[in-house]
Structure 1
Amino acid sequence: MTAPVVVVGSINADETLPVATWPTPGETSLLAGPVRRGLGGKGANQAVAAALAGADVALVGAVGEDASGADALRSLRDDGVNVDGVRTLAGATGRALILVDPHGENLILVDPGVNAVVDEGTVRAAARHWTAATVVLVQGEVSRAAIDAVAHSCRAIGARFVLNLAPFLEVDADTLATADPLVVNEIEAAQIGIDPTAEAGTSPARSLVVTLGGDGAVVRTASVTERLPARPVEVVDTTGAGDAFVGTLAARLAAGADLVAAAGAATAAAAYAVAHSGAASSYGTRNQIEHFARAR
C-alpha cells in the first residue's frame, strides 16, 4: 500500500437524481431525467482526482459486503487507485442521494454506512505502511479520532498533512496546526473563525486554502495571501468539484509544486468537473484538464 499520496476517507455509492425545481415540503415531484449511479464519497473522489492528476495514490477506508462495495473497489482500481488499505466489512457501503437542478446546484443526503467504522484503529493499522508517503490527505467524512490520528502519524513520519475539513467538525488544535494546508470552503472557514476576504490574517494551520466556488480560491501562507480566479465554464453539475480541487492539489504538492501553483492547477480541475456530470465520473486526466484550461 506504499504510495506518495495516501488518502484516508469515505467511499460511497452515489445516486444522482435530476430535478427541474427543488420540491417544497409536502410536494411530490417527478424527476427530470434518469437516475445516474456511480462512485462517490470524499475519500474516493479525492483519491481518483489525485490519481488522474498523475499521482501514485493509496486509499484507506471501508466498503460493505454488498454489490455497491464491490463496484466501488472495481471503479477505484480502474482509475489507478491502490485499494489494499480499504477494508470490506459486514454492513452496507456508504450511500449518497444527490439532487441536481438545471443550474448544476445540488443537495446531498448521505448514509455513511461502514464509513462510520473508519476510526483511530483503522488509521493506526494502516499508518505503518505509509513510510513512502509525502502527502497524506483526510476529510471530515470520517471520525474526529481518525482525523487526529492521521495528523499524529504525519508528524511522526514527516509527511505533509492536508486536511479538508468538509463537512466541518471539531478536531484537536494540534491537528489544525499540522495542516499544510487546511482546505475549507467559505461556510467551513466561518465555522472555524477564518475570514477569507481579509488581505492577511492569522490561521490555525500552517497554510490555508479557502475555496469560493465561482469566485475561485484564496491561498494564505506565512508569507503570502493570493486570490486565484475561477475558470469561466458553463456549469453542468457542481457535485464533487471541491473534491476534484483537493485531490489535484494533493497530487501537485506531492510532485513538488508550491501551494499557489498547486491551487492554480486545482482550480482548473474543479472547473473541468463542474462542466461535466457526476462526481468522480466528471474528473479529467491532467492532459484533458490542461487542454480544457488552455481553451479558456
Structure 2
Amino acid sequence: MTAAQLAGTAARVVVVGDVCTDVVALLAGEPSPDSDRPTAIATRGGGAGANVAAHLAALGTPVVLAGCVGDDLPGQALCRDLADGGVALAVRTVPGVPTGTIISLVEPGGERSMLADRGANLALRPDDVPLPAPGGHLHLSGYTLLDDRPRAAGLAALAAARAAGCTVSVDPASTGPLRGYGVDRWLADTAAATLVLPNADEARLLTGCTDPEAAARALAGQHPVVVVTLGADGALWAAGDLLVHRPARPTTVVDTTGAGDAFTAGVLSVWTAAPGAADPAAALEAGALRAATVVGRPGAR
C-alpha cells in the first residue's frame, strides 16, 4: 500500500526508517588477516525502522512502517516477512537501486561492528510517510536524519505529526554518524520530539555529560521524556525531576544486534497504550523484556 492509501488507517503507530537485510557473522575469535576462521553466518530481516515495527506488531500494537526497498528479491522477501508478522506497509519500491544490506561482525560476548549499505533507504521522500491516526504516535529512526537524502522526509514527518497533535519519538541511531552529522544540528532537528531514546554513549555525545544519569537529566530539560539504555546495566527514564532506573533482564548474550530497537518497541508498546500516562517502570520493564528475547540469538528479530 502507498502512504496515501494508508492515510486513513487506524494504526496507533507509524514507524519511519530503514528496511534492510542483516548478514550476521558470529566470530569464533579475532579476525585473522590473510587467512580464515570458522564463523557462523545467518541472514535475517533488519533495518532499525523495520525492527521496531516488527517488534511492535509482535507485541500487538497496530503499526505502519514507512520506508523504501529496491526492486529485487531481498526487498520482496523483507516486505513479505514484515506483512506476515502483522506490519502494515507503506514501503515504496525504488527501481534500479538495491535493497539495503547491513553486515554485522559479532565478537564473542555479543558486541558487534556494522558495515552498512543503506541502498534504497536513502531514497525516502516526504510523500512516502503517512500520518498516524488522530492521537497516535510517530517513531522516527534517527538514521533517517543522518543523511541529506532522506532527511527531508524525516523532518516533514516530524513537523506533520506534531502539527496533528501526535506524540513523537526519536532515537539518535549511532554515535559515529551522529558525530559527523553534528550534535547541534540533530538537537535542532528533533527539538519537538516528545520522547528521545539514546543509548548511554549517544546521551553523552548529545550532552557532553560523562555520567549517564546527568546526561538523562540534561536531555530531559529539552524533551518531556528521555529513556537512556545502559546495556547490561538496564535503562533510565527521565522526565522533569523524575529519574527511574530498571535493570536489564538476566540472559546469555549471543548478539546485541537490534537490542536497542527491540527495547524501543517494548517501551512504545506501553507508551502508546496510555499516551501521556504511561508508567515509567512498566515501560522500562517491557523494553528490557523485549530486548532480552533478541540478544540470546543471532539477528535483530
Q: 2:100 aligned with 1:94, yes or no?
A: yes
Deviation at 1:93, TM superposition (A): 0.2
SS in 1 for 2:54: helix
Q: Is the 8 A contact 1:163 1:183 kept in 2?
A: yes
- Match of 1:177, SS state, is coil
Are the aligned partners of 2:109 and 2:255 in contact in 1 as well (CA < 8 Å)? yes
1:29 pairs with 2:36: yes
CA distance in 2, matches of 1:172, 1:100: 29
What amino acid is aligned across from residue 225 of structure 1 in structure 2?
A: L
Measured on the aligned residues, the alpha-carbon RMSD in Å equals: 2.0
Equivalence for 2:260: 242
Structure 2 match to 1:123? 126
1-structure distance, mates of 2:238, 2:34:
45
Note if contact 1:148-1:172 (Cα within 8 Å) is conserved in structure 2.
no
The aligned counterpart of 1:113 is 119
Q: 1:95-150: CA deviations, max 9, x gaps?
A: 011112232221111100011111xxx234533x4334611101122233333222
How far is the alpha carbon of 1:172 from its aligned partner? 5.3
Aligned equivalents of 1:233, 1:103: Cα separation in 2: 12
86 and 275 in structure 1: CA distance in 2 versus 1, 3 angstrom threshold: same
Question: How many residues end up aligned between the 2 structures?
Answer: 273
Give the aligned partner of residue 159 of structure 2: 152
After the TM superposition, which of the residue ranges 170-179 and 201-210 deviates more from structure 2?
Answer: 170-179
Structure 2 match to 1:17: 25
Report if the CA contact (8 A) 2:66-2:128 is conserved: no
Q: Identical aligned pairs, as a percentage?
A: 35
Which of 123, 134, 137 is residue 135 of structure 1 equivalent to? 137
Read off the aligned partner of 1:278 and give its amino acid letter. G
Q: Name the CA distance, whole Å, in 2 between partners of 1:93 and 1:82.
A: 19
Contact kept? 2:216, 2:226, Cα under 8 Å:
no
Cα offsets for 1:28-64 (capped at 9, x unmatched): 332322x211100000000001111110010000000
Q: Say yes or no: does 1:178 pair with 2:185.
A: no
Unaligned runs of 5+ in 2: 1-5, 146-150
Letter of the structure 2 residue corresponding to residue 202 of structure 1: A
**Amino acid across the alignment from 1:140:** G
Distance 1:108 1:199, change over 3 A: closer
In 2, the alpha carbon distance for the partners of 1:108 and 1:63 equals 19
Give, in angstroms, the shift of residue 223 of structure 1.
3.5
Q: Distance in 1 between matches of 2:217 and 2:87?
A: 37
Question: Which of 225, 237, 244 is the matching residue for 1:207?
Answer: 225
Deviation at 1:260, TM superposition (A): 3.7
How far apart, CA to CA, are the structure 2 residues paired with 1:123 and 1:217? 33
Given the alignment, which residue of 197, 200, 205 partners 2:213? 197
The alpha-carbon deviation at position 268 of structure 1 amounts to 1.2
TM superposition score normalised by structure 1: 0.86
Q: Distance in 2 between matches of 1:197 and 1:66?
A: 45
Tell me how far apart the structure 2 counterparts of residues 11 and 200 of structure 1 sit (CA, whole Å): 29
1:60 counterpart SS class: strand
Alpha carbons of 1:64 and 1:133: their partners in 2 closer, same or farther (altered >3 Å)? farther
When normalised by structure 2's length, the TM-score is 0.84
Runs of 5+ unmatched residues, structure 1: 281-296
In the TM superposition, residue 174 of structure 1 has moved relative to its aligned partner by: 5.0
